[in-house]
Structure 1
Amino acid sequence: MGGSMFSLVQNETLKILRRRRFLVVFLILLILIPIFTYAQYRASLTAQKQLGTDDWRALLQQQIVDLQNRLSSNRLPEEWREILKIRVQMQQYYLEHDINPNAPGGPTFARGFMDQAVSLFLPMMVVVLAVDLVSSEYSEGTIKLLLTRPVRRWKVLTSKLIALILFISLTVLLTLLMAYLISGLVFGYGGWDMPVLAGFQVVGGELDTSQVFLLPQWKYLFMQYGLGWFVCLVVGIIALMVSVLVRSAAAGMGIMMAALISGTILTQMASSWESAKYLFVVNLQLTDYLAGTLPPIKGMTLPFSLAVLSVWALAALCVAYFVFIKRDVTS
């Protein structure tokens, strides 16, 4: 089994490289990360210009004042009011403990980039890799050739899954390296040992700081990108299932994109629909739990979201294997 599985994985890896999906992902990152870096650089310059200082304490104090002014508005929805209250409390905590949460540097940019990318941008990159892993075999007419070889069907699908996991891991690692290397040209490469606060918890709409602890930024990044990798893995497995069920790569891409985009919208509006917390798309923002951000629906925790995503991934694997093994490819 070992030798045949290795050759199958090698074959699937070459297929992904031949279709240039990974090259597309690399080019998207290469184009977008410099744009995000420049946008953050311009934002920091604008903030400094408005206040006439580059002192981070003054900038943080101004952000707190701005948030408090927004909180005084009567037209602010109640769920947004809670989110802003938590943000004010967190920023006051940073100020009181003399810790700059946005100290410039490549590692800090990589941390902020993952926070923004984990629920939509990175999953979309994974969909690009995964959505035609099986459906392309139908469109290229190679499915009969693939399944008439003296290899069990479950081995064929497992080789595709292993190749997908390898490319997902490469994508997440590439995101970290490119975010660090490109932003470091502007912000510098220091900050790996900068203290970052973690362990914030939201209890009854209030920020609980009793469990807060300091850890070096490199450890925080390791935890954060680990959670990002898990999110990408779950999305990849679901996309693989869609690729098995739908013979058209374009249709599969449409289904996954619609799911991810609707998930982003639902996350903003789901506070009044409690059952939405069982949808995988509402649980993708795992890094928010590290940062202590208010979850989209009350009662959601990191173990809960990990459990929901794991159940979805296992269910998707079961469906994918069952359909792939049983399907009649002569039709």
Structure 2
Amino acid sequence: MANFFKLVHNENVKIYVRIRTWVMFGILAFITAIVPFLIYIAADGIGMASDGVGAWDGMLLTASVTFFLNIIFTVIVAADSVAGEYSAGTIKLLLIRPWSRGKLLLSKYLSVVLFSLAGTALLILFSAIFSLLLLPGSGGMAEMLPGWSAGKYTAFSLLSRYADLFVICTFAFMLSAVFRSGGLTIGLSLFILFMQNTLSLIFTPERYSWAKYALFNNMGLSQYMVSPVGGGGMTLGFSISVLVVYYIIFIAISWIVFVKRDVTA
């Protein structure tokens, strides 16, 4: 087990030794810090800064902006995780190590997940600090739904956004292992991210019965904060179950392809 932790550590070193990683963290921190300030300026301009917009609202609005950036950065790291070894020609050196391919793949996946958690923790921390400093109002978009406190509403919203990140991150990791192309992986992953809402509007569960099993219709779990039952009779438990099935499929494909693929000399 200690050797495996060293393997995970080595994969993390590959990520954090690159200047690109710290540039991404710097951009994420800067945007997360500046959004509450912009909200304060906008709210102050219409006389709502004192009591109309609160810290919880600032966190929610900031997260709605910066989580997209966090997902993009995580996809970039996931796309490079396996595909980068092929493009750099280091895959053969990796495979001659005294570890199974399955453990090598798992260590890479865990390093990507840890990066996603680090980015998420960073944006939550910065959005909380700057929202508390700049938006001390008592207002409450976060309290508009009956039965939801501001804290509970914000926590579930952030958790829902991370669930989307986690699924897209795993999808990108699978593509990286299958296609060995970082560019293709990033393109397809971001296509799913930005087309999710559009595809959900076109292929609705009310119109197409199969659509309730589609990945894009089960992402965005925050929809169940408004109503416990979604389109086509979908529920929170149903969507989570569908996402778990997709997750297992993504992981299985990644493992089968990486373990079985022949790396020619």
Q: How does 1:1-331 map to 2 (within 5 A)?
A: 2-48=1-47, 104-115=53-64, 120-188=68-136, 197=143, 212-215=146-149, 217-271=150-204, 273-274=207-208, 275-292=210-227, 295=230, 297-330=231-264
User: Which has the larger displacement, 132-141 or 267-276?
Assistant: 267-276
Deviation at 1:39, TM superposition (A): 4.0
1:172–1:225 CA contact under 8 A, matched in 2: no
Deviation at 1:35, TM superposition (A): 4.6
Q: TM-score, normalised by structure 1?
A: 0.69
1:12–1:159 CA contact under 8 A, matched in 2: yes
Q: CA RMSD in A?
A: 3.0
| Alignment gaps of 5+ in structure 2 | none
Larger-gyration structure (1/2): 1
Determine the C-alpha separation between the residues in 1 that align with 2:228 and 2:31. 25
Sequence identity (%): 30
Deviation at 1:105, TM superposition (A): 3.1
Determine the C-alpha separation between the residues in 2 that align with 1:29 and 1:124. 11
Deviation at 1:154, TM superposition (A): 0.3
Relative to 1, partners in 2 of residues 1:327 and 1:281: Cα closer, same or farther, differing over 3 Å?
same
Determine the C-alpha separation between the residues in 2 that align with 1:110 and 1:29. 14
Q: Which residue identity does 1:149 align to in structure 2? A: R
Larger helix percent: 2
Residue-by-residue CA offset, 1:237-291 (whole Å, 9 max, x unaligned): 1111011012221121111112212213223444465333322233321123225
2:66–2:123 CA contact under 8 A, matched in 1: no
1:115–1:287 CA contact under 8 A, matched in 2: no
Relative to 1, partners in 2 of residues 1:241 and 1:113: Cα closer, same or farther, differing over 3 Å?
same
Deviation at 1:131, TM superposition (A): 1.3
Deviation at 1:170, TM superposition (A): 1.4
Deviation at 1:160, TM superposition (A): 0.9
Determine the C-alpha separation between the residues in 2 that align with 1:113 and 1:258. 23
Deviation at 1:182, TM superposition (A): 2.6
Determine the C-alpha separation between the residues in 2 that align with 1:116 and 1:305. 24
Relative to 1, partners in 2 of residues 1:255 and 1:40: Cα closer, same or farther, differing over 3 Å?
same
Determine the C-alpha separation between the residues in 2 that align with 1:242 and 1:163. 16
Relative to 1, partners in 2 of residues 1:54 and 1:250: Cα closer, same or farther, differing over 3 Å?
closer
1:234–1:310 CA contact under 8 A, matched in 2: no
2:192–2:216 CA contact under 8 A, matched in 1: yes
Determine the C-alpha separation between the residues in 2 that align with 1:291 and 1:43. 27
Relative to 1, partners in 2 of residues 1:115 and 1:277: Cα closer, same or farther, differing over 3 Å?
farther
Q: Which residue identity does 1:18 align to in structure 2? A: V
Relative to 1, partners in 2 of residues 1:325 and 1:233: Cα closer, same or farther, differing over 3 Å?
same
Deviation at 1:214, TM superposition (A): 4.5
